[in-house]
Structure 1
Amino acid sequence: MNIRFSIAVLSLAVFCGCQDSSDVQRFDIQGTVTFDGKPVPAGTIMLTPSPGNTGPGGYAEIRDGKFDTAEGGQGPTGGPHHVVIQGYDGKTNPANELPMGSALFDPYETDVNLPDADTQNDFDIPATATRKPSAGGSRGKV
């Protein structure tokens, strides 16, 4: 029974992942991302369809406070989406595996309802979204 279940799940995953996306209309989204009123130097923005929205999501890279899914990203469909933004200081440090630099804030999450058209959407991340110390953070000198 476990083998049949596994085969069914695998078949469903293959079917869902191989749907022809050429008939799905995507739209480009561009805009700005600021943190505490200042442009975010580097980062990523991910748009995931919210429950009930069956279209694909999208993504873009943030450069100097701007993003555009038409330039090195992929536009989402219209409708409600959950947005996750990651912002970095832009000071690359390959030795420490920080290609975009150090994180400015923990991943910021919000929701948007996108039109069925190319659009602009700006995001202002508040200063209260700063990075929280890790659970095993520094403890100071003893």
Structure 2
Amino acid sequence: MNIRLSIALLFSLFVFCGCQDSSDVQRFDVQGTVTYDGKPVPVGTIMLTPSPGNTGPGGYAEIRDGKFDTSEGGRGPTGGPHRVVIQGYDGKSSPANELPMGNALFDPYETDVNLPDADTQNDFDIPASAIRKPSAGGSRGKV
């Protein structure tokens, strides 16, 4: 993933998670763990986007050493049904910083959760079927 793609993903995160005034709605913090192949995901992102019918804003957090917490540099979502998108990386950045989080460990993983109207804990175990396959050109992790 190059820096332009990273910026585009970050912009999309803010668009999908809602940029409305947080005084209108009550947000709740979500924390938990993310593992893949039985090991903590070194670095990554988790995005919680409201499912159809859920009018509240979404949330997001960074994954560090297999843990995430929307109250630490992220933003908590509202309660209700959400689509969760998790991206995980090996944490080995390239010398030219083209891949600041390193190579992708798996293709973006998506699942659904129904969050309570309260702070909550959610753990995610990425299945082996989501493991990223090298592209035909061999440029794993690059776009």
TM-score range, shorter chain: 0.7 to 0.9
RMSD: 8.8
Q: Deviations over 1:72-115 (max 9, x none)?
A: 00000000000000000011225151111110000000000000
- Provide the rounded CA distance (Å) in 1 between the counterparts of 2:141 and 2:119: 50
Identity %, equivalent residues: 90
Change in Cα spacing, 1:14 to 1:81, as seen in structure 2 (3 Å) is closer
TM-score by length of 2: 0.80
- Provide the rounded CA distance (Å) in 1 between the counterparts of 2:57 and 2:111: 18
- Provide the rounded CA distance (Å) in 1 between the counterparts of 2:68 and 2:45: 8
SS in 2 for 1:96: coil
- Provide the rounded CA distance (Å) in 2 between the counterparts of 1:135 and 1:110: 27
Aligned residues of 2:103 and 2:141 also touching (Cα < 8 A): no
Matched pairs, number:
142
Change in Cα spacing, 1:13 to 1:88, as seen in structure 2 (3 Å) is closer
Shift of 1:67: 0.1
Which of the pair has more CA radius of gyration?
1
Change in Cα spacing, 1:13 to 1:96, as seen in structure 2 (3 Å) is closer
Change in Cα spacing, 1:118 to 1:94, as seen in structure 2 (3 Å) is farther
Shift of 1:9: 24
Return 127-136 or 69-78, whichever deviates more. Answer: 127-136
User: Structure 2: 5+ residue runs without aligned partners?
Assistant: none
Return 40-49 or 91-100, whichever deviates more. Answer: 91-100
- Provide the rounded CA distance (Å) in 1 between the counterparts of 2:99 and 2:142: 27
Q: Deviations over 1:23-74 (max 9, x none)?
A: 2000000000000110000000000000000000000000000000000000
